[in-house]
Structure 1
Amino acid sequence: MIEIVFTKRNDRVKMFFSRCKELKDALNHICENCRPILNNDAYLTDAELAQRLRVSRRTLHDYRNSGMLPYYEIGGKYLYSEKDVDNLLMSNYRNVICNP
């Protein structure tokens, strides 16, 4: 009977641990970037939305005050529905037609 011993130097073992690390990194990325869903909608914080839209949090404050951007205020924190943000962006989309 032939006995095979796997050590840390074995290519299969190296590949196995490399794949485990890739899987761990992918799961960490999902955990860090996954937003909990409530009523089939994800919500963004002030800081997250400002970063995504590349505007300041003060600009978001102006959007809230003008009634342009719907929001939830819970304990002094603001939350924005991703659906509401998508609708706002789509309603303000302007298609440019270039005439050559």
Structure 2
Amino acid sequence: MEYETINKETLEMKQLISGIQEISRCLREIAQTHRPLFGGEIYLTGRDVCERLFVSPRTLQDYRDKEIIPYTKIAGKILYRLSDINQLLQENHRR
């Protein structure tokens, strides 16, 4: 029985390493963009909302204080429903 030596220079190993790197990249991307659903709703963090609305964290806090934007606070963490953000944008859209 003949055995073939596989090392990091063989084509098979290069393909395997490349595949693992691609899977790793995809998983990192998914981890950064995935938002779990709670009761069919997608919840966003303050950072996500600031990026979507192009506002600062302080402005977002003002919106909360003035009850312009609804939010949920769980164990000190503030979350925003994506549907509420979309509704806010639609209600304030001007042509």
Q: Which category of TM-score, normalised to the shorter sequence, fits these structures? A: 0.7 to 0.9
Match of 2:30 in 1: 30
Bigger shift: residues 23-32 or 1-10: 1-10
Q: Distance in 2 between matches of 1:8 and 1:47?
A: 42
TM-score, structure 1 normalization? 0.77
Task: Name the SS for the 2:14 alignment partner.
Answer: helix
| Structure 1 residue 20 corresponds to structure 2 residue 20 | yes
Aligned residue-pair number: 95
Determine which structure has more spread, i.e. the larger CA radius of gyration: 1
Q: Distance in 2 between matches of 1:43 and 1:20?
A: 31
TM-score, structure 2 normalization? 0.80
Q: Distance in 2 between matches of 1:77 and 1:31?
A: 19
Q: Distance in 2 between matches of 1:69 and 1:35?
A: 20
Match of 1:69 in 2: 69
**What's the CA shift for 1:52?**
2.8
Matches within 5 A, 1:21-100: 21-95=21-95
The letter for the 2-side match of 1:30 is: I
Runs of 4+ in structure 1 off by over 4 angstroms are none
Name the CA shift for 1:83/1:17 in 2 (closer, same or farther; >3 Å): same
Structure 1 residue runs of 5 or longer lacking an equivalent are 96-100
The letter for the 1-side match of 2:18 is: S
**What's the CA shift for 1:11?**
1.8
Q: Distance in 1 between matches of 2:7 and 2:58?
A: 57
**Percent same amino acid among aligned pairs?**
36
**What's the CA shift for 1:53?**
1.9
**What's the CA shift for 1:7?**
2.3
Deviations 1:11-59 (A, max 9, x none): 2220221111110121122123211210111212223311332211121
